[in-house]
Chain A
Amino acid sequence: MRPSLPSDLTHLTIHEALLALRRGAISAVELTQALLARAEAVDPRLHAYLTLDAAGALAQAREADRRRAAGDDAPLLGVPLAIKDVICTRDLPTTCGSRILQGYRSPYDATVVAKLREAGAVILGKTNTDEFAMGSSTEGSAFGPTRNPWDLERVPGGSSGGSAAAVAAGEALGALGSDTGGSIRQPAAFCGVVGIKPTYGRVSRYGLVAFASSLDQIGCLARDTRDAALLLRAIAGHDPLDATSAPLPVPDYVEQLAGGVKGLRLGVPEEYLCEGMQPGMAETIREALAVLKGLGAEIGPVSLPHTRYALPVYYLIAPAEASANLARFDGVKYGYAFPDAVDMWDSYRRTRQHGFGAEVKRRVMLGTYALSAGYYDQYYLKAQKVRTLIRGDFDRAWERYDALIAPTTPTTAFKIGEKVDDPLQMYLGDIFTLSLNLAGLCGLSVPCGQLAGLPVGMQVLGRAFDEATILRVAHAYEQATDWHTQAPPCA
């Protein structure tokens, strides 16, 4: 007789789903159908997906079931996932949330997508993002905002807001995102899911549409830390197609989850528990620290004195790199081209005027200025030097601590429209996540509480290439709490 079916397939974790698939309690087709049905029911309200590929997903699920019947047990066989729409997929559009790439179809898969396919994953579709991943709310998508499943009047965070909302609302079991200044961790915190930004160089970026090349990194969003470890294990590793990917062995993140935190030294950066945070935020993090202390971790204070400079450093370096990366969008090779241009220069100007949205233009302008003759030393070079000091802060912290604990964000999810006319206010929301990208380290956000019914994320920051330790800390915390099991009301 067939084992009984779990009651709600859409809220399984990946590891639960894999158990059910292996036991034959469910098929990949049943699981995929359940997630597609959920997406069809809730996505008209949430708008987490830019492309939902029901037919393609079901075909992949049938293939997964065939492979399993033939004895295959690939690590993610039959697991339905979503991909942020800045990551290239051969058979689906890749728009980057931009009009300039509307209808674009990549001729190749990103390495991470190829790896997921090889691991047997079912790709459900492409998720919404701020245009070219530039933003913190997903309001910057040319195709309309995504809404937070915990409160439809609020943003899901960004730029990987579609991926975070899809995972929180039961529209995908897990998702890929990208994180240049917090774009995985911040939406994970706002939507009550786990999000990990691996170390710069840990995951191949071949096929990730470039925003700021010294900062961009692909990572994972999931319902719990074990799932995040499963996904990271599947996508990590050196890739000859990405010269910035590190030729280092990939540890088995799943096997190393169980170590616990006993004797682990966890530092609390004083600059991250500052004035001006939402009331209750600091207390929530302190409660989480008490839990970790109770589990045997040694907690102590640390100072990262250059933290306050991370925001201006980031908002000079990232736009400077973006202005160079986005020069490729010229209406010649792919994407939108202004139809009535009179000459080449007019074509460039009009194509980019009508193809790019406000935030992308703002950053291209800012970056062009920071790199322009007469201002390079004052802005870009100065920012790169202060970046060295920010890295130095972390280097000193690692002499005393194995990982650092901080809030992921200064507030819970804000209202749609609240910051859209004030870019500086929007940028200030990123103060706790930017430093990590500037230093090239790894970090994650794990649900650790709620304020007024909205999720709060605890950030765990780790040494370069030490994802195993931050996953272990978050996993130990999850074993003692149940914040990660809470589902939003809309789901």
Chain B
Amino acid sequence: MSNTLTLAEVEHIAELAKLGLTPQEAQMFQEQLSAILDYAAMLQQVDTEGVLPTAQGLDSGEAERPGMREDRVAPSLAQAQALANAPAQQDGQFKVHPILDE
């Protein structure tokens, strides 16, 4: 079994992603992600000296490159629509937990 990732690293990544994991999930991801990263290690064999990265599929020609649109005021979602799916709201705003200590 591969240990490319340690359990501590898995827990660190989960914290970066703000993803709660059970101990069983952490164990499972350690094994599965290690296997996937081992497989991905084949990329290190590829010579990419002087190769530029590709960020998306649409930057090959001038014709298909979207231009800048005119900056104009247009109708947007109404406040009630924007809030309609909120798990919690108050006074016309999204309600969240405090982010500063009292």
On A, residues with C-beta under 8 Å from B are 104-105, 107-108, 199-201, 213-215, 238, 240, 243-248, 306, 308-309, 311-313, 315-316, 323, 327, 330-337, 341, 343-345, 347-350, 352-354, 356, 358, 361-362, 364-366, 368-369, 372, 378-379, 381-389, 391, 423-424, 427, 437-441, 464-465
Contacts and interface: CB of A to CB of B under 8 A. Distances in A.
Nearest to B77: A107
A175 B78 CA distance: 31
B94 A365 contact: no
B57 A439 contact: yes
B40 interface: yes
Given A200-B57, A388-B54, A344 B29 contact: no
Contacts of A385: 46, 48, 51-54
7 contacts: A213-B56, A333-B85, A349-B18, A362-B32, A365-B14, A383-B43, A385-B53
Contact of B40 (A245, A312, A372): A312
**B interface majority secondary structure:** loop
Given A240-B69, A327-B18, A368-B13, 20 more contacts: A199-B57, A201-B64, A316-B40, A323-B17, A333-B86, A334-B86, A335-B87, A352-B17, A352-B19, A353-B22, A361-B25, A365-B19, A365-B33, A368-B16, A369-B37, A372-B16, A424-B39, A438-B54, A439-B57, A464-B60
Contacts of B67: 247
B43 A309 contact: yes
Given A323-B17, A391-B54, A423-B32, A344 B99 contact: yes
Contacts of A379: 37, 40
Contacts of B56: 200, 213-214, 244, 440
Contacts of B99: 344
Contacts of A365: 10, 13-14, 17, 19, 29, 33
A349 B19 contact: yes
Interface residues of B, number: 54
Contact of B51 (A312, A315, A388): A388
Given A361-B19, A364-B17, A243 B66 contact: yes
A247 B68 CA distance: 11
A270 to B, nearest CB: 19
A365 B15 CA distance: 10
B48 A107 contact: no
Given A323-B17, A347-B97, A361-B19, A309 B32 contact: no
- Please give me the 3 A-B residue pairs with the lowest Cβ-Cβ distance, nearest first: A440-B57, A353-B20, A384-B53
B58 A387 contact: no
B63 to A, nearest CB: 7
B35 interface: yes
A365 B98 CA distance: 27
Contacts of B88: 337
Given A246-B58, A248-B64, A388-B51, A366 B85 contact: no
Contacts of A354: 20
Contact of B13 (A243, A330, A369): A369
Contact of B86 (A201, A245, A332): A332
Contacts of B84: 105, 107
A272 to B, nearest CB: 18
Contacts of A214: 55-57
Nearest to B84: A107
Contacts of B16: 368, 372
B18 A348 contact: yes
A439 B57 CA distance: 6
A103 to B, nearest CB: 8
Nearest to A248: B64
Contacts of A361: 19, 21, 25, 29
Interface string B63-101: 110110100000001000110111110000010111100
B69 to A, nearest CB: 6
A365 B60 CA distance: 31
A295 to B, nearest CB: 30
